[in-house]
Every structure is written in structure tokens, then in C-alpha cells.
Structure 1
Amino acid sequence: MQTILLSFQSLGVVYGRLSTAPLYVFGSIPPKDFKSEESVYEYLSFIFWTLTIVSLVKYAFIVLRANDDGEGGTFALYSLLCRHAKVGLIPDDKTADDVMHYEARSSNRTKIESRARRAIAKHKSSHYLMLFLALFGACMIIGDAVLTPAISVLSASRGLQRSLSDIKFSSSERTDESIYRDFKKYVPLPSACAILVCLFTLQHYGSHRIGFIFAPIVILWLLLIGGVGIYNIIHCDSQILSAISPTYMYKFVKNISLESWRALSSVILCVAGSEAMFADLGHFSKKPIKMTFVSLIFPVLILCYAGQAAFISHALSPKNLGDVPEDYNHLYKSIPDSMAIPDHVHHLFTVLSLLASAIGSQATITACFSIINQCLALGCFPRVKVIHTSNKIHGQVYIPDVNWILMVLSLGVTIGFHDTKRIGNAAGMAIISGMLVTTCLMSLVIALYWERSLLVSACFLIFFGSIEAMYLSSSILNIHKGAWYLVVLVVLSMTVMVAWHYGTKKKYEFDLENKVSTEWLTNLSLGLGVSRVPGIGFIYTDIVTGIPAFFSHFITNLPAFHQVLIFVSFKSLPVPYVSPSRRYLIGRVGPREYKIYRCIVRYGYCDHTRDTDDFEEQIISSIGEFISLEEHDSESLTSPEGRMIVIGRQSPEGHALIPLHDTSLNAEGSSSSNAVTEWNPPSPMDDASGKGKKMKKVRFMLPDNSKMRMSVREELKELVEARESGTAYFLESPMLH
């Protein structure tokens, strides 16, 4: 039942783009390129085999298998390579490598290091090349998220202009084309802009709700275009299905010219949205996406394109050649006028095309949010607010700042170009470039992660790469006809990503070089009479060993620090998720009597650890468990500062600290000597979802456990009393996402 439900939702999110591609694939091919019925067969043959090889074989049957624990996209492939080929360039403290990555390393120790893995791990240039490919692929998805809404909505608006002009023609005595030209000039732009604004405004509802809203519309749209396709195949050209023969592609290549080669950049638009099948994998799952594509999307698209080609072929026949209108290759024209109620059918098509075009943009927008969320976690994008819109499916995110930037850029493209052919050239280049990046990374995953032979990896790269390189060359020929806009977008976004990654890495290296040893802090408090004030101090830092320089400066100028100090570090691992039971690493800084602790919070690139409003409570509880487990823990780790314990499980004697919230206060009372009540101030990680969080009244109690050692109980009591005195935060840099 869950699979069927996700399949239904995927129609409204993942496949909106693929299902609306017929609006502009044939329409973006210049009419002069359709010289005869034979040329229509040749283009249809390219469309059929491109859909079959790229969308069906490559993505549905191969690439979807390379998911990273259910997550897809270029960064998911990159994270697999980071773990299994040691090519990661994410800033990390090498002295604490065993502490941060011990689980991943232990799982790979049994694998025999292949020659390819050793060679890639040895050469640093290959590491930078893979990171560049991942960033470049992310930039292409961002560019596609700008261009797809523009071309989809503008193409649908052309159907609206034709429908309105037909109404005007029927009620006007004027029979010339001036009325149509008026509608062509004024109608599409305002309607397209209005639809774009509505589309981006809906994004905050999340993929779950949007999928339920949009899926019925996509189903109606697929039934309509599939039915129209079957009708045109039967009544216009029943021989059109013979175009699936690859001999027509051979004839096209044999008589190739510069203009016809450029037209191939329009053909690649038929697979627009295939990359979203992989990028949006985290929003759904592999089985529903694959099942929906194979059983519904692929056959309906083949029927639609074949029917549209049959209509164009019929219009190009010798008896009709003189009556072919200029825009006969638009999908709207292929709806037969001989239906029983033609006006209603045409108006239904107009409404559905407008709605479906907006839905078609949803897949790329959603994929853009997913890829930027992954870039954020891996330190390759400026920090922006990320909202997780589903508690059940972690990959469903919404990024408000990015959403409004995409809307402004998409509106700018629509108003600036106002031409589906020019926007289509840029979109085609974005689509094929992103696919080529996926092919390159996928070939490495086959060799390094799946551990297949280099021959298999090379065959994958050569077969799919050569097809995509062919389409890319045709797109490059159109760089002066609109594709230059994509180049500008990619240069800007790549500059931002590379600059942020470089700055993050340099800042981390500076912090490592200027950190102070833990002995400095303990010796300072003894030798210079540094006083300890009541309360808990949370020091947020990127380093996982030593004392950060900014805190040492603070102590030097103000010789006092809190009764309890907790150094908190957030560390991203190249995995999609880190289990809550493995998330916290707790250890001591200095001797026990100093009450200084270190907490390392490990998270994956799809986790939303920083969104929780009880973060301080989790840290305090984890330290309480650490104090209880410290003496007899069998799973402790060795770090440069001593032992660290993975916290996420209950100690043998029960919970060390029992948190009681507002609802428990009245029942328990506040007279217990083991209880402390206070207002929990919002942590620096709060409000990451954009919604205001109310402060929770939290009460920690020590359990009535006679088995607990007196030294442990005393330390826990001091921790609770310190929290009663208040909490202070020391921030090295903004940690808010």
C-alpha cells in the first residue's frame, strides 16, 4: 500500500517534467527542418531511442540502483566515492580521523584494495576532479530549475493564446491573422508570469502535499495526450510506429547538416526530467519511481510522440503541404478538430496544459532543493535555512531563500527571452550536461563501489557518454541562441560553491593551526587563578580536539569560565543519515574534577539534527549517560584527548538523567531534592525550520537508583545544578542553517 501511495505522489512531483516535455519537444524544432515525411520519421526515431536508452535503461534500471541509502543525485554518487575510494575533500581534523570515521573504516577493512582505488586515493588531482564534477552537476540542476519553469509555462501559454484567438476569430468579422498576432504578443507573458509566481508560492507546502494536489492533474494529462496520440496514429499515419527502426537515425546522420545537427538539441528535451528521477529519490523510493515509469510514463510518452509525429507527417504529405501553418508542430495543433465536442476538448487541453506545465517544473525545483541541501551538509554552499517538510521521509526539504531566487531568475528568463526555442536551447544544454556528469560519476561507482571490472565501467562510460556527448555538441552549436544564459548561471553558481568550499577549508585549517592544547586550559585555571562561575557554557567550534583560539582569547581577557564547559562540534559525514544511537560522541577534556566535556554531533547530508528545539536537552542527557557509562563502557574510542563514548543507548542502571516536561510538573511537584526546574533557553540550532519555537520548561531528575555509585551521582548532581544556574553560548561562527 505504501508503494502504491508513493507511486501516486511521484506522478505529481517526479514525472511532471517528463510528462509535459511533449509541449515543447517538437515545438522547439524549427519548422524548416521538417522538409518531408521522412524527416519526421527520423526525429521520432531519435526520440524513441533516446527515451529508451537514457531514461529507461540508464536511469530506471542502472542509476537508480546506485542510491546512497535511498538518496539520489550527483552528491549521493560523490558521497559513495568519498567513503569507498577515499576521495573526500571535506574539511576534517586528520588527528581525529579514527574518532570521526571509525565505523565506515571498519566496514571496509575486509575489502581488498583494488589497483584503481589505490591509484585514485593516491593522486590528489583526481579528488579535485570528482569534487568539480559533483559541483558542476549540482550547478546544472540549479540551472535547470530556473529554465524548466520558464519553458514549460511559456509553452503552455502558447496553447492558451491559440485557444483564445480561436474564440476571438469565431466571434469576429476579421478573418486575417492580426488578431492572432495580438494574442501572441500579449497573452502568454502575463499568464506565464502569474503561473510561475503561484508555482513557487506553493513550494512551502512540501513534496508530500504537492504530490497529492498535482498527481490527479498529471493522470488526466497523461490520459489526454495518450488518447490524442492513439487517435492521430490511427487516423493520420498508421505507419508511424515503423520509425522506431534505427535505420532512420542512420539516414539522418548520413545526410547530416549543420542546421539539422543543431536541431538535435531540441530532441534531448524529450528526456528532460530523467535526472529528476534520480535526484528526487530521497523524496520517495526506488521501487515506486521505477514501477511508475515502466508501467505508465514510458508507454504513454511513446504514444504521444508517435501521435504528434503522425500528425506532422500527415500535414507534410503532398496533398496538404500547401496548408501547413507556421506552428503546426505545436502539441496543441495535433488535437483533432473532428471530435464530437472540439471546443470543449481544446479548452480542456488548454487548462490541463497550463496546470501540467506548472507541475512539470516541480520535479526540477524539488531536485534543486535536494541537491542544495546536500551541498550545505558537505560544506559546499552558503548556509541558508532548510525546512524539512516531512517527519517520515527525511529527504523532503524546502529552502525559502533558494525558492525566491529561483522564482526571480525564472521570471527574468521568461520576460527577457519570451521565446521557447531560445529557452529550450539553454535547457537542453543543462539537461545533457547534468546527465554526462552522472555518467562519469556512475562509471567510477561501478568500478570502485560495486567493484566490477574496469572493462564494465569503461563500457558504461563509452556507451552512454558517447550518446550524451553527441547531444552536448549539438547544444554547444546553439550557445549564441539562448544557451549562453545557462553558461552565465553556471559560472555564478559554481563561483559561489567553489569560493565557499575554499573559504570553509581555509578557515578550518586556520582553526587547526591556532588551536590551544587542553593542558593550557587546565594549567591556566590552576596557575593564574581563573575563577569558575555557576552555570553551563556551550562552546561551538568546528575543531574536534584542543581548545579553539577564540575561546582562549576570551579566557585571557576575562579570566573566568563556567562551572561546566561543553565543547560542541558538528561534523558532517559522507553518508545520508547517521542513526540517533550513533550520533553523539562524548568525552572529557582534562581531568574529571574540571567538569569539561566534548560533544561531537555527527550527521549525514540528509539529517536535520540542527532543526530540533530540544537540542540542549539532548546534549545534557548525553553527557549524563556518558558519566554513567564511563567506568564500565566496552565500546569506548581512543582520541588524542582520551576516551570517547558513543551515546545513544541506555546504561545498565537505567537513564542517568530523567527529563520531565511541562505536563509532568504538576503531577510530580517540585519539592524533590533530586529535581531541578528551569526555563530551557533556545539553542543556536533552534528555529532552523523558520517557525518560532516556544521555550520549553524542562526538569531533570536523578533516578532513585541505589546501585549508582556515589561519585557518579555527585557528578550528575553538579551537572543538574549547573544547568539550574543558567546557560551561556560561545559561538565561533554562525551555526544556523
Structure 2
Amino acid sequence: MDHPPSRTTSSDGLKETWRHALVLSFQTLGVVYGRLSTAPLYVFGTIQTKDFKSNEIAYEYFSFIFWTLTVVSLLKYTFIVLRADDNGEGGVFALYSLLCRHAKVGLIPNDTSTNEVMQHEEESTFRGKVESRARRAIKNHRSSHYLMLFTALFGACMIIGDGVITPSISVLSASSGLQRSLSEIKYSSSPDAQGAISDALKKYVPVPSACVITVCLFILQHYGTRKIGFMFAPIVTIWLLFIGGVGIYNIFQWDPEIFSALSPVYMYRFVRNINKDRWKSLGSILLCTAGSETMFTDLGHFPKRSIKITFVCLIYPVLILCYAGQAAFISKHWNGPENFNHLSESIPKHLRHVFILLSLLASAVGSQATIPASFSIINQCRALSCFPRVKVIHTSDKRHGQVYIPDVNWLLMALSLSITLGFHDITRIANAAGMAIVFGMIVTTCMMSLVMALYWEKSLFISGFFLMFFGFVEAVYVSACMLSFHKGAWYLFVLSAVSFTIMLAWHYGTMKKYEFDLQNKVSTEWLTDYSPGLGVSRVPGIGLIYTDIVMGIPAFFSHFITNLPAFHQVLIFVSFKPQPVPCVPPSQRYCVGRVGGKDYRIYRCIVRYGYCDQVRDTDDFEEQIIGSIGEYISLDESDCESLTSPEGRMVIVGTPLLEGHALIPVDDTNLVSGSTNAANNETLAIPVGDLIGRNTPVRRKKVRFLIPESSPRLRESVRDELQELINARESGTAYFLGQSHLTVRNGSNFFKKFLIMAYVFLDKNCREPPVALNIPHAALVEVGMVYII
């Protein structure tokens, strides 16, 4: 795992480190902070103009904005929540993964009998620590495990919902400024014609322009976070300088005394004179923190130091100046024309056209913050078996969290366009946006308090104070948002209900399928000891059996052997096991062991990966497996790092190097002519029919393996076993996958039937195969099994 460069190495190294941090800070403007930067477009603008009945009301609203930004965005997220990163990854599932490891509350499918193997890192990390009473109580109550999982899924749904709503409200708000500008144009026609044209512009201009900008925004996503960051960062920088300068101008032009509203006394006056309409307007004030949650969720895209530097030094002071200037303008024009509270009204007239252009560009950038956040949270859910299989593209080799998901991107675009066309009303969309923001914050507050108590091991007083203080602030805004539930906020709950059902059904189906595999697995002795008595023969080649279980023989393979009693001379049971960590170090990725004695040539390889790893998406996965088996054979009896499982000794093998000790991978062009250890020019694949004697060449491989000609480490028996492995690969490789058909047991309740039906539907319509390894069809053997759940 990469470690940050030391600050004390040298002056040049320090300079380079800070230069790199500043470059990343500049990129965060285009990705992370676009949402916060464009919030002034709709915070004051979504408050009803009738609520401003005196200049004091503007002071009171500004006081709420200042303290909300300070307490929530600055104090909570910048100085507290960002510290709870999971090895550089953020978001509610990063907090959940911390709790899975340190409070043992995970519900990820795993074989409890191999916890020593699968949980090696965390056991060694926390060895010697005394388990607290709180951790022990939560660990022993299964209901708390489900509660935490449901909380994490609910938080993920809020982030996805925010990713749908944000492009709509940001772009539509900027388009409204364009509409106002066009409606002010003076025509030479009659007053009636002018009024008709003005009404038409007000009604039709914002929506089409918003849709066009939204489509263009989502089309750009495939370029990746880094390119988009450099592309969008200058726009946000100019926008911030513009609204900050206009804010300073408005303060000195209209009301220099506006900063007296920083006193909490004005908040008290607001609460003292509260009524239903004014309480409802707090939902609009909450929008000033829109984008704070993405500071934490987008942590996988940028280091937290860069995120902190940008917010503290630029975003926070500029936003305060902007809101102060807008409040100063409103305090002098509260009895003026309609829509005086929109940001465009406070812009000097000679700068209106510049504002329109910048706001359109910045609003498109403002939507960018929540889209990568949606990609990140879905990638985490997918890796931890809580989201259907989708294709994930890693757009950076250095930052594992920078991902792009094409299917999700187009789905978000369609939903965002639907809400723009369906509502075409900023206030209604703002109600839904405020609901998504505040519920996402509450989930983070709840899980963060648990992290403080169970991971940071703070006292219950500190974690309880954090929960009560920030929970109270957010509960106030929840009550305000619920008053507008029937005016747009209901859309968020419909969208979240669909997302939550998909996640829950996929997790439930995965768990039940795994439990069925555990209950119906066959012991290894059945294959190694009793199979010869059943007339099972061995055929040349390698058989790669992909299974979820890490012990025993999967039911689908025993079903295959029963009907066709033959299997390959070398068998490798491969299991992918997600770990609740962002990345598994290459040195700890593979756990390799034997199934039965040495003479059987049957191996088990457990591939461990984190929710940011791309192990399944590599084209050279077969070479990595063969290389890890070769390393295991050479290290089997040496003093290497190993663990014991019920099946025997497991050796932890890292990613094989280009110059491995046991097998040397060589390209075709580098093969030594006439070498006795070289593989043939063609690697064959064995489909079902080939198991009874027919081998057909399918494709060529770029990588071959050689045994070192002379090595003191390799004994003769080891060399023979390695040579047999190479010869088996020469004969061909077949890939065995279980094809599951889930059915519900008779008498099951409706809820169970619904979840299983949803899982089956999602499984059949997934765009990504179960094992995304580019397996050739001629070498693939799918064995169907009926799972009665």
C-alpha cells in the first residue's frame, strides 16, 4: 500500500509534496466544491419573497446561513468527519467498513470457519487490545448488525438521490437567470406583445437549456476525475472570485453593518418569532451546506489535505462574503420588485451578462460533485455484495477511488432529466434536495459517533455529545424539510425506496445463495479419496473452478462430477472474497493451499480484494493464478508466512513478480528456442465435450512460464510438480462456473418471495458477468443448479 511521502526527508521533497497538494487542491475546485460554490444560486432564491417583511429578516436568515456553514461544513466535516477516512476512502460505506473490521458487525458473505485466514490483517493489528463493553455488546447482538447495514444502505440511497437532484436544481437555477435576462429585453412591439413574449420566455427558456447542459455534463464523465478537474477548476475559480467580489461590492454599497448578523442573537430572534412559513424556509437555508457530504464521499478521489486546504482558505470565506453581500442587498430591497431575493438581482446591471455566462458554466460544474460521489458509493456497495454487478472503469492508476460507471452515469442522466421536465420548478426540486442533504448528514452523524466510540475508542460522553449536538442541529432541519414533503420532497423517497429495494434484494439473494452453498457443499475427502472408487478419471489440462465458498467442494462441481465422472489433472478452486477495506496489499492478496495430498494436484486459491481494487477486471488473471500456485509450490515447506485452515496449511502469496522464484513469465518473442521447460505456442481451452478426449485450440497467450534452469531453492520434487503444472497448462484450461437458478420454498412469506424475485430479475439483467475475466466461450463450462431458498 502506498504511503504518503515524509515531510522531513528534505527541503526539496517537502516542496514537491506541497506543490502536489496544491495541484490537487486546484483540481478539487472542479470536482468536489462545485456544488458548494453554486449553492448561492438557490439558497435565498428558494425562500418565498413574502417572508421578507423587514430588513431584520435578512439579518436573521444570514445569521442562520453563517452558523450552519460554520457548524456543519467547517466544524463537522472539515475538522472531524474527514479524519475518519478508511485508508483514504470516504463516504458512509467507508465508515461502515471501519465498523465491520473493528466492531465485527459485517454481514458480508464469509465462511466463519476460516475467519483466521480471511481476517488476518485486522486480527494482527488489534492483537493485545482489550475489547470494550460497547464493542462486545454490539458484536453479540445480530440485530445491531442489520441496523448498521440498513443505515449504511439508506445513506448510500441519499447520496444517489442527491446525484440525481443536484444537476437538475443547479442547472435550472442558472437557466432561470438566463430567463430573467431575456425577459428584460425591450421589444419595439406593443405592450401586450411584450408581455406575451416575456411570459413565454419565463415558461419555456429554463427547461430546454437546463436539459442540454445536463446532457453535456454527463457525456463528459467518461474522461475521469483528473481531466474533468483540470477542465472545470478554472471555471469554479473565476466563479468564486466573481461572486466574492460582487459580495464585497454589495456589502459596502448597501449595508456595511451586515456582519453584525454574525451574532447568534439574530438566530434567537428568528426562533422567537417563528411560524410555520418561516420554519419551512429553514429547508432553503439548509441548501447552503449542499455539497458538504460530498467532501467526505469524494475523499477517494483526492487526499484530505487538499480538500481541507481548499475549503478553509478559499471556499468558506468566499461563500460567507457572497451570502453577506446578498443579505445586504435584500435588507435594502425587501419591499422592492418581485424575485429581489434571487442572486441575479444583486448583481450590478453592467455585469449581468457576465453573471449569466458564468452561472451557466458553474452550475454545470456544480453538478459534478455529486456524480463522482454516486460512482464511489455504488462501487463500494457493489464490492461488498450490496449492489448488482455493473462495469466499473478505474480512471486513475494512482488513486484507486477514481472510478467511472457507464450504466449508472446514463441512468443518473435519465432520472435527472425526468425531474427537470417533471417539476420545472426550483422550489419543489430544492425541497427534495434539502431532504437528501439532511438525511445523508444524519446517517453520517450516527455512524460517525459509533466510529468514535468503537474505532477511535473515545469515551461514551464524547461520542454521545457528538451525536446529540450535531443530531439536534440536523433534526431541526429535518422537521423543516418534512413540512414540504408534499411539495417535491416525496420524489426523493420514491427514488430512495427503489434504490434501497435493489440493494436489499441483491444483498439478501447473495446471502441466501451463499448459505445454500455452505449447506450443500461436499467434503474434500469425497473428491480425493472416494472419487477413484466411483470410476472418476483424470484428463490433461487445468480446471479453474470459481466458487464463493472457501472450504469443501461446491455443490455444482460435485453435481458435474456425478454426471460426467472426469476432471482435469490439475484442479484449482478459486474464490473471490471481498474485504471491508479499500485495498488489499499485493503482498497479502492470495491465500493458497492444497486440497488433499500432494499427489492429487488439487489447489485452492482465495483472492482477497478491497472495495477499490480491480482484481476481477484484469486480463492477465489466469497468469496471476498460475504464478501464485507456482510460488506456493516452491514455498510450501519453507518458513514463509502461513495460516492454518480446517483443510490444512494456507500460504499467503503476493502478486507474482516478473522474475518469480518458481515460474518465470516470458512473452512469446522472448522464448528460448528448444527449451525443454517452455510451453507450447498455443494455450488450449477445454469445453464440455473435450473432457471425453477432444482438445481444440482456441486462442494464443502472450505469457508463458519457464522453470529456472538452475536454482538451489528448488528441490527435484518441487521442479517435477512445477513442470506438471506447466504441462497441464499446455494441454488447456477450462473454466467452471455455477449457474444458479433460485426458487422460493413453498410456504415462504410475501417479503421473502419479493426479494428473491427481485434478485433473480437483477441477476438476469446485469450488464456484467459474475466473473469479469474475459473467459473465452469455448473454454467456459457452466453447470446449472437449482437453489431452493
- The answer to whether 1:381 aligns with 2:416 is no
From 616, 622, 625, the equivalent of 1:619 is: 625
Q: Alpha-carbon deviations, 1:687-734, whole Å to 9, x = none?
A: xxxxxxx97421211101242211100110110111111111111254
Cα distance 1:579–1:332, how it changes in 2: closer, same or farther (>3 A)? same
Shift of 1:237: 1.0
Cα distance 1:234–1:596, how it changes in 2: closer, same or farther (>3 A)? same
Shift of 1:22: 0.4
From 669, 673, 681, the equivalent of 1:670 is: 673
Structure 1 residues 31-70: aligned runs within 5 Å = 31-70=49-88
Shift of 1:535: 0.9
Q: Alpha-carbon deviations, 1:53-103, whole Å to 9, x = none?
A: 000000000000010111100000011111111111111101111111122
- The answer to whether 1:211 aligns with 2:229 is yes
Cα distance 1:695–1:403, how it changes in 2: closer, same or farther (>3 A)? farther
What is the rounded CA distance, in whole Å, between the counterparts of 1:458 and 1:680 in structure 2?
Answer: 62
Cα distance 1:730–1:349, how it changes in 2: closer, same or farther (>3 A)? same
SS of 1:638 mapped into structure 2: strand
Instruction: Give the aligned partner of residue 348 of structure 2.
Output: 336
- The answer to whether 1:326 aligns with 2:355 is no
What is the rounded CA distance, in whole Å, between the counterparts of 2:681 and 2:553 in structure 1?
Answer: 29
Shift of 1:157: 0.4
What is the rounded CA distance, in whole Å, between the counterparts of 1:351 and 1:680 in structure 2?
Answer: 59
From 25, 29, 47, the equivalent of 2:43 is: 25
From 696, 699, 718, the equivalent of 1:712 is: 718
Extract unaligned runs of 5+ from structure 2: 1-18, 687-698, 740-768, 773-789
Report if the CA contact (8 A) 2:543-2:734 is conserved: yes
Report if the CA contact (8 A) 2:681-2:700 is conserved: no
Shift of 1:232: 0.4
Instruction: Give the aligned partner of residue 411 of structure 1.
Output: 417
Report if the CA contact (8 A) 2:330-2:341 is conserved: yes
Shift of 1:551: 0.4
Shift of 1:274: 0.2
Q: Alpha-carbon deviations, 1:158-180, whole Å to 9, x = none?
A: 011122233x3266664854332
Instruction: Give the aligned partner of residue 91 of structure 2.
Output: 73
Instruction: Give the aligned partner of residue 514 of structure 1.
Output: 520
Instruction: Give the aligned partner of residue 735 of structure 1.
Output: 770
Cα distance 1:171–1:296, how it changes in 2: closer, same or farther (>3 A)? farther
What is the rounded CA distance, in whole Å, between the counterparts of 2:187 and 2:459 in structure 1?
Answer: 67
Q: Alpha-carbon deviations, 1:510-548, whole Å to 9, x = none?
A: 000000000001124321221111111110000000000
Which stretch shifts more, 269-278 or 520-529?
520-529
Report if the CA contact (8 A) 2:684-2:730 is conserved: no
Shift of 1:147: 0.5
Cα distance 1:325–1:678, how it changes in 2: closer, same or farther (>3 A)? farther
- The answer to whether 1:607 aligns with 2:616 is no
- The answer to whether 1:493 aligns with 2:505 is no
Instruction: Give the aligned partner of residue 16 of structure 2.
Output: none
SS of 2:624 mapped into structure 1: helix
Cα distance 1:649–1:187, how it changes in 2: closer, same or farther (>3 A)? closer
SS of 1:703 mapped into structure 2: coil
- The answer to whether 1:202 aligns with 2:202 is no
Q: Alpha-carbon deviations, 1:628-658, whole Å to 9, x = none?
A: 000113322101110010001779x961000
Which stretch shifts more, 479-488 or 702-711?
702-711
SS of 1:539 mapped into structure 2: strand
- The answer to whether 1:698 aligns with 2:710 is no
What is the rounded CA distance, in whole Å, between the counterparts of 1:162 and 1:724 in structure 2?
Answer: 73
- The answer to whether 1:98 aligns with 2:116 is yes
- The answer to whether 1:169 aligns with 2:169 is no
SS of 1:28 mapped into structure 2: coil
Instruction: Give the aligned partner of residue 687 of structure 1.
Output: none
Which stretch shifts more, 429-438 or 626-635?
626-635
SS of 1:729 mapped into structure 2: strand
What amino acid sits opposite 2:344 in the alignment?
Y
Cα distance 1:695–1:182, how it changes in 2: closer, same or farther (>3 A)? farther
Report if the CA contact (8 A) 1:524-1:530 is conserved: no
From 224, 247, 252, the equivalent of 1:234 is: 252
- The answer to whether 1:89 aligns with 2:107 is yes
- The answer to whether 1:592 aligns with 2:598 is yes
What is the rounded CA distance, in whole Å, between the counterparts of 2:475 and 2:96 in structure 1?
Answer: 21
Instruction: Give the aligned partner of residue 260 of structure 1.
Output: 278
Instruction: Give the aligned partner of residue 326 of structure 2.
Output: 308
- The answer to whether 1:358 aligns with 2:364 is yes
What is the rounded CA distance, in whole Å, between the counterparts of 1:47 and 1:216 in structure 2?
Answer: 26
Instruction: Give the aligned partner of residue 420 of structure 1.
Output: 426
Cα distance 1:527–1:171, how it changes in 2: closer, same or farther (>3 A)? farther
Structure 1 residues 439-450: aligned runs within 5 Å = 439-450=445-456
What is the rounded CA distance, in whole Å, between the counterparts of 1:516 and 1:678 in structure 2?
Answer: 37
Report if the CA contact (8 A) 1:73-1:279 is conserved: yes
How big is the alpha-carbon RMSD for the aligned residues of Structure 1 and Structure 2?
1.7
What is the rounded CA distance, in whole Å, between the counterparts of 1:623 and 1:668 in structure 2?
Answer: 22
Instruction: Give the aligned partner of residue 158 of structure 1.
Output: 176
What is the rounded CA distance, in whole Å, between the counterparts of 2:220 and 2:556 in structure 1?
Answer: 43
* TM-score where L is the length of structure 1: 0.94
What is the rounded CA distance, in whole Å, between the counterparts of 1:217 and 1:654 in structure 2?
Answer: 49
Report if the CA contact (8 A) 1:680-1:697 is conserved: no
Structure 1 residues 479-558: aligned runs within 5 Å = 479-558=485-564
What is the rounded CA distance, in whole Å, between the counterparts of 1:542 and 1:619 in structure 2?
Answer: 16
Report if the CA contact (8 A) 1:24-1:155 is conserved: yes
Instruction: Give the aligned partner of residue 378 of structure 2.
Output: 372
From 286, 298, 306, the equivalent of 2:316 is: 298
Q: Alpha-carbon deviations, 1:325-346, whole Å to 9, x = none?
A: 2211111111012xxxx1xx22
SS of 2:639 mapped into structure 1: coil
What is the rounded CA distance, in whole Å, between the counterparts of 1:179 and 1:677 in structure 2?
Answer: 78
Cα distance 1:177–1:245, how it changes in 2: closer, same or farther (>3 A)? farther
- The answer to whether 1:191 aligns with 2:209 is yes
What is the rounded CA distance, in whole Å, between the counterparts of 2:616 and 2:70 in structure 1?
Answer: 42
Extract unaligned runs of 5+ from structure 1: 684-693
What is the rounded CA distance, in whole Å, between the counterparts of 2:654 and 2:74 in structure 1?
Answer: 42
- The answer to whether 1:721 aligns with 2:727 is yes
What is the rounded CA distance, in whole Å, between the counterparts of 1:522 and 1:49 in structure 2?
Answer: 69
What amino acid sits opposite 1:700 in the alignment?
F
Shift of 1:210: 0.5
Report if the CA contact (8 A) 2:92-2:297 is conserved: yes
* TM-score where L is the length of structure 2: 0.88
Shift of 1:678: 4.3
Q: Alpha-carbon deviations, 1:171-207, whole Å to 9, x = none?
A: 6664854332111111111111111111111111111
Shift of 1:14: 0.2
Cα distance 1:736–1:315, how it changes in 2: closer, same or farther (>3 A)? farther
SS of 2:119 mapped into structure 1: helix
What is the rounded CA distance, in whole Å, between the counterparts of 1:133 and 1:681 in structure 2?
Answer: 49
Report if the CA contact (8 A) 2:671-2:678 is conserved: no
Cα distance 1:679–1:246, how it changes in 2: closer, same or farther (>3 A)? farther
What is the rounded CA distance, in whole Å, between the counterparts of 1:723 and 1:633 in structure 2?
Answer: 28
What is the rounded CA distance, in whole Å, between the counterparts of 1:710 and 1:594 in structure 2?
Answer: 18
Report if the CA contact (8 A) 2:113-2:646 is conserved: yes
What amino acid sits opposite 2:217 in the alignment?
L
- The answer to whether 1:108 aligns with 2:126 is yes
Q: Alpha-carbon deviations, 1:25-47, whole Å to 9, x = none?
A: 01111111111111111111000
Structure 1 residues 248-287: aligned runs within 5 Å = 248-287=266-305
Instruction: Give the aligned partner of residue 750 of structure 2.
Output: none
SS of 2:398 mapped into structure 1: coil
Instruction: Give the aligned partner of residue 27 of structure 2.
Output: 9
